[in-house]
Structure 1
């Protein structure tokens, strides 16, 4: 319908519109080396591993020290018991007092072994073989020794196998090494899971912020229930968004006021110059009239930017394509028209004229007065395609997709024409793209849906 306002957008759908279909996979696309969650998990794992290694090493060292002390105490107790029994009884080596697994020898004052336990009988009546060694191998077993003076009988030698102590030491060291190997992986996985849970709210808010639509009202980022550092950060971002939205509103209001003040004088000037051109036919007046047209369309672009897309309304009409061609031929003289101009177009004639005229004006500036600008119209059952090709240098490669952003220009213009043209095309349900033609020059393609795509009853009602 002509003048029909766009449907109201509720807060819920608007927030849902902030996310693209692939936004849920945003975190999966973040490289692990750039992930805060991974860095936190890695730092947590490294610190925990270092702390765990120090604590475990201290505990193992303490445990081995206690085991060493207990072994020495046991050896000394055995030696003292046997020495006391031998001194009191004068014999009994190898009997019950020696204990299971204990080796004993009696060494006379001349250094000869006089008595020995059964496992050491080969040393009897031979010089004492071990000297001052504290550890000696006996039957492939490491034996720790102690000696006691037994008076006139000489010296009592007692040995206790270290098999249990060595096995315990090896088990403790193996457990320590296993812990140092397994702990990093377990800590890293735990840190990743904890970081994922702790930063879930921040990640969701980052996804929302990444897809905020600046042409719409800036939605507030959701706050987590727990008032922690993430809550404070998101609250600060929300306050910043409020300030940005307020500043944007003031800028749009000021821009609208400036455009409104310029509109009336430009309209009078344009009408006066057109009237003077019709009376005199002066080429200088004709050029001035074209400049007035240029300024008029620039103010329209500024007004559209100030209002924003959601506030614009399309007045739908079904017009012959030849009518649009006549408007464009007058606004941008020297354009070559090709294609199928005998069709009809369902559009807002003023807005579509503004969009295509912006493309032609940019093309004329790029091609220069001696260059060529061609506008081709192609019709299919689904859409109408306007193709603008000029003989200029083509699109600046350094700008890329930024060529459609407001106030970005590669031809010395205001930088609003392409942005407004794409906005108008998308409001019609189409789009605008640009590239450099293989044979040189810029090539812009503007599409709008064909009239056959709409509901026939609605189209007739609009007409």
Structure 2
């Protein structure tokens, strides 16, 4: 059943199942996800650039401090050696020291380098060496006329600092995008919540009724501006629909009076003569009267049909259809009886046959097959035309949508009549060629419930 949603203080009708296909937006199509992803990538780029810059600056400062410390130690030891004339010098712990004579041999070495004592100097012109699996950075100083002083400090602290900085940056690059994406999705959900609700309400509005404006958020932001523009568009659409309905109502009103006179005249003429052309013209006048009534209901914004139930032979319906759409081939079993509104059911099936005749052309073939079971009566209308346009699908039953050059109102009315009978109307294209319409109504075997027969 159709429902009503409150929009802007007004009740707006919604159709069954309307908006269900857009109730949940796939994550890859979500604006909220795309915004969060963009901000995440921007944050990742900024963290990468800023993090690398800060770490590089810190490591350079550490290198400068290390070099200053190494140079200070080398200068201090060089002055001590010169002052004590190569006597015994106290060497600070945590470093390496060697004194190289003019002959290139080590004359004095610290305890950790005792293996190099009295041996040729192995690290000529090298500032980065490895001693006992420990990286060492070294400098040299001239010591008067005695030779060269070589001083080294282990750089394992610098190596550990670089490794720690790299791990910290890698952790930041891994954790920050995840946190930014989650926070962005949460913030985006709150920021776009009003737009999502407005989209859901807009998707549920039935365009066959008066178009109501959407509620505006309290904050005058971009969403407010967008909804304001949509509301202005809805107002223009509503005004255009009102003008169209007014014009349609005036046209139907102008047609109503002549058709009433024509129908009465043909009814009196058919009573005085048995001319089949007069009887056919009377039926056509009846159908035109029903069509103008349907157009009037459409002009009022809804299609409401009133049914007058009767129990009739199927042959009676066949005779009416044969006079209205000559050349129709009747197949199946037409010997049973139907519980229906004869005029409306004739109108519904006549629309299907007329569509088939237009599609098949003068040389084509239109066949209607009647099958009956205790539960359902089925009318199957087939033609030899090109078939239904694939791009229309079920929209072929919407008002003023046509694939055969007609007004597009007949199939909409036919489906409405089938639904009001408690049945269905579907359409498809046959494998060989041509369209197939299947109209069903409940069978005449209704049991003991006789109240329905008296409905009118």
Q: Does 1:64 align with 2:56?
A: no
Residue 42 of structure 1 corresponds to: 37
* Alpha-carbon distance in structure 1 between the residues aligned to 2:454 and 2:272: 42
* Alpha-carbon distance in structure 1 between the residues aligned to 2:450 and 2:274: 48
Q: Does 1:387 align with 2:380?
A: yes
* Alpha-carbon distance in structure 1 between the residues aligned to 2:357 and 2:150: 113
Structure-2-length-normalised TM-score: 0.81
Higher helix content, 1 or 2: 1
Residue 339 of structure 2 corresponds to: 345
Q: Does 1:317 align with 2:309?
A: yes
* Alpha-carbon distance in structure 2 between the residues aligned to 1:455 and 1:434: 33
CA contact (8 A) 1:309 1:423 kept: no
* Alpha-carbon distance in structure 1 between the residues aligned to 2:284 and 2:444: 34
Q: Does 1:27 align with 2:24?
A: yes
Q: For residues 45-444 of structure 1, what are the structure 2 equivalents within 5 Å? A: 45-90=40-85, 95=90, 98-108=91-101, 111-224=104-217, 226-272=219-265, 296=289, 298-309=291-302, 312-322=304-314, 324-325=317-318, 327-335=320-328, 336=330, 338-340=332-334, 342-347=336-341, 349-367=342-360, 373-397=366-390, 399-437=392-430, 441-444=434-437
CA contact (8 A) 2:4 2:13 kept: no
CA contact (8 A) 1:93 1:115 kept: no
Distance apart, 1:256 and its partner CA: 1.0
* Alpha-carbon distance in structure 1 between the residues aligned to 2:2 and 2:18: 22
Q: Which runs of 5+ in 2 are unaligned?
A: none
Distance apart, 1:253 and its partner CA: 1.6
CA contact (8 A) 1:94 1:118 kept: no
CA contact (8 A) 1:341 1:377 kept: no
1:357–1:221 CA distance, 2 compared to 1 (3 A): same
* Alpha-carbon distance in structure 2 between the residues aligned to 1:384 and 1:235: 51
* Alpha-carbon distance in structure 2 between the residues aligned to 1:288 and 1:345: 26
Runs of 4+ with >6 A deviation? 276-291, 451-455
Greater shift in the superposed pair: 219-228 or 270-279: 270-279
1:284–1:229 CA distance, 2 compared to 1 (3 A): same
CA contact (8 A) 1:406 1:415 kept: yes
CA contact (8 A) 1:93 1:117 kept: no
* Alpha-carbon distance in structure 2 between the residues aligned to 1:63 and 1:216: 69
1:134–1:41 CA distance, 2 compared to 1 (3 A): same
What whole-Å deviation, never above 9, does each CA across 1:183-210 have from its counterpart, x for those lacking one? 4445444444443443344334334434
Structure-1-length-normalised TM-score: 0.80
* Alpha-carbon distance in structure 1 between the residues aligned to 2:432 and 2:159: 85
1:409 match: secondary structure: coil
1:27 match: secondary structure: coil
Greater shift in the superposed pair: 391-400 or 358-367: 391-400
CA contact (8 A) 1:346 1:450 kept: no
Distance apart, 1:51 and its partner CA: 0.7
CA contact (8 A) 1:332 1:361 kept: yes
CA contact (8 A) 1:23 1:207 kept: no
Q: Which runs of 5+ in 1 are unaligned?
A: 1-6
Distance apart, 1:291 and its partner CA: 6.8
1:134–1:288 CA distance, 2 compared to 1 (3 A): same
1:299 match: secondary structure: helix
CA contact (8 A) 2:382 2:435 kept: yes
* Alpha-carbon distance in structure 2 between the residues aligned to 1:100 and 1:124: 18
Distance apart, 1:182 and its partner CA: 4.8
1:276–1:68 CA distance, 2 compared to 1 (3 A): same
1:388 match: secondary structure: strand
What whole-Å deviation, never above 9, does each CA across 1:242-273 have from its counterpart, x for those lacking one? 33223212211211111111221233345546
* Alpha-carbon distance in structure 1 between the residues aligned to 2:452 and 2:89: 118
What whole-Å deviation, never above 9, does each CA across 1:389-413 have from its counterpart, x for those lacking one? 3455544556543432333334443
2:350 match: secondary structure: helix
